[in-house]
Amino acid sequence: MAAISGATEQSINEPSSLPSPPEAQHGDQDLSDDDNVDNAAREDLGNNASTKKKKKRKPKKKKAAGSGTTKQSNPPRVPLSLIFLNNQYPAGEEVEYRNENSFRTTSEEKRHLDRMNNDFLEEYRHGAEVHRQVRQWAQKNIKPGQSLTEIAEGIEDGVRALTGHQGLEEGDNIKGGMGFPTGLSLNHCAAHYTPNAGNKIVLQKEDVMKVDFGVHLNGRIVDSAFTMTFDPVYDNLLAAVKDATNAGVKEAGIDVRMSDIGAAIQEAMESYEVVIGGQSLPVKCIRNLNGHSIVQYSIHGSKSVPIVRGGDQTKMEEGETFAIETFGSTGKGYVRDDMETSHYAKKADVANVSLRVSSARTLLNSISKNFGTLPFCRRYLDRLGHEKYLLGLNNLVSSGIVEAYPPLCDIKGSYTAQFEHTILLRPNVKEVISRGDDY
């Protein structure tokens, strides 16, 4: 999810699905003359029995620790708890700290602190593996001609199934499921667009689509995004943004200043050009979009991670979680609110406000019980059976209880791209929790 300024499917080692060949079973064979079996037949049977007795059982392949025998379906609908036993989910990319923090790798004190956060790590790794499996299915199956609604619901159905939380019972979505609505922002729109009810937009071959969604378990949000295109003319645009995100991930770490991360991102991003329609265009950082810290049940923490050079001397700290996301554009490199709003989130620690609109009171009660401070979209309210709620929703926004996140767009005719990873600054190692074989 953008902050605005002021693993391929997981492979699972399993036991061989082929049954081991059974030992040949032989009873005593009566080969007497009374049974009219001649010597030749007797000799053949003896040879066959001898041959079969020499066969040995094939050793079973050892399965990976924590792996069950259940395979993922296509589309993904099998809860990961049935595939990975004892909550042993794959780790992300673990990167040792550098320079003055290199001592953390071998420090017994830091390792002990890391072990104290085992539950926290399991929840993040669970969510990250859900994100990887769902997005890799999406990358293989999203095609021009599909509606944005079909694409969004396919991703969200996968997330809910794999986390084991459908979100239809009161409070279930707060336990796990969607941590951020599926953003499907096209072309000059950079972020925060998902189809509302009745949306008829169909994906076209010439579109550049940012796919941004979050997964959470117990409020531990994994926020990750990628960009899809179907025309190689946009390859350099995607390469620029992917390179910039990786530069930010590499630079990030404990005690690193935000300004240094922004400088590394901008240097990587703006070293690229893209040729579209015979015109060479520089790839610009969208300077008023940022990465952000993530805290439990709140996708936007108090810290921002710039994607351009600046003077922010704020440092990253041990134990924090960040979304490192970058946006590149062939336009002005600056976004403004545009189009119909779909994304919302209840603000944390809001003082009691007297609501005069009865539908606003009813809706707030439902939002609090089903989403808490997690972001949601209008389709999620439709799914819970709410009708004619726009008056109440707008009243909650105007009262300062719910934050609206309208789509963020550069100039029309431009193209934007996004890549994003979630990183954990563990005491002894940096873990790029959402890293996969795809990006």
pLDDT in tens, 336-349: 999 999 999 999 98
Whether the Cβ atoms of residue 301 and residue 280 lie closer than 8 Å to each other: no
Q: How far apart are CA 134 and CA 78, in angstroms?
A: 11
Residues in the chain with pLDDT values less than 50 = 7-55, 58-65
User: Residue 437: exposed, middle, or buried by beta-carbon count in 10 A (0-12, 13-18, 19+)?
Assistant: exposed
Considering only CA atoms, give the Rg of the chain: 27
Q: How far apart are CA 148 and CA 201, in angstroms?
A: 6
Tokens of 427: 């005491």
pLDDT tens profile 388-423: 999 999 999 999 999 999 999 999 999 999 999 999
For residue 87, the model assigns a pLDDT of: 86
Q: How far apart are CA 221 and CA 39, in angstroms?
A: 77
Q: What is this structure's pTM?
A: 0.85
Angle between helix axes 235-251 and 258-269 (nearest 10 degrees) is: 160
Among the listed residues 59, 53, 56, the one whose alpha carbon sits nearest the alpha carbon of residue 25: 53
Alpha helix (H) residue ranges in 65-147 = 108-115, 118-141
Count CB atoms within 10 A of the CB of residue 336: 13
For residue 152, the model assigns a pLDDT of: 98
Among the listed residues 244, 242, 173, 248, the one whose alpha carbon sits nearest the alpha carbon of residue 214: 173
For residue 6, the model assigns a pLDDT of: 61
For residue 17, the model assigns a pLDDT of: 37
Cis peptide before 75 (omega within 30 of 0): yes
The conformation of residue 130, written as its DSSP 8-state character, comes to: H
At residue 22, φ and ψ (nearest 5 deg) are -70, 155
For residue 4, the model assigns a pLDDT of: 81
- Torsion region of 399: left, alpha or beta (phi above 0 gives left; psi -120 to 50 gives alpha): alpha
**Which residues are part of the catalytic machinery?**
212, 223, 292, 300, 325, 420
For residue 351, the model assigns a pLDDT of: 83
Tokens of 55: 């066969």
